[in-house]
Amino acid sequence: MDREERIARNEILFREVNEKVAELQTGEGVERRFDFICECGNKDCVEAVSLTLAEYEAVRSEPTQFVVLPGHEVPGIEHTVQSAGRYSIVQKEGEAAEVAEVHDPRS
């Protein structure tokens, strides 16, 4: 497994956990923030990203997008789509994008 695929698989694992977090919060207030796990490629990162369900859904509207803390971006396999201060939305490129699409739990 090459570096891009390994990083993408780490991020996919974190996204799967976050999908469960969002699922458990259904019906909560739209402005309330919840702690999601940073979906960066660092397998040891367990830092929290505070998002509303609407913000998380905006990230998940595209299967190749992930939410990360600022500074956790991985140049070369992703680019920043949006920086919102508390978090950044990154979009995978190349092989990492393909892996993300294949393993998207919403597909």
Whether residue 107 is contained in a domain is answered as: no
Whether residue 31 is contained in a domain is answered as: yes
Total domains present in the chain: 1
Q: What is the model's pLDDT at position 29?
A: 60
pLDDT digits (tens, 9 = 90+) for 6-41: 888 878 888 888 888 887 776 656 678 889 999 998
Whether residue 52 is contained in a domain is answered as: yes
Q: What is the model's pLDDT at position 9?
A: 81
Provide the domain limits for residue 38.
3-102
| pLDDT category of residue 71 using cuts at 50, 70 and 90 | very high
Average pLDDT, the chain: 87
Residues 6+ apart with CB under 8 A from 50: 33, 34, 35, 36, 86, 87
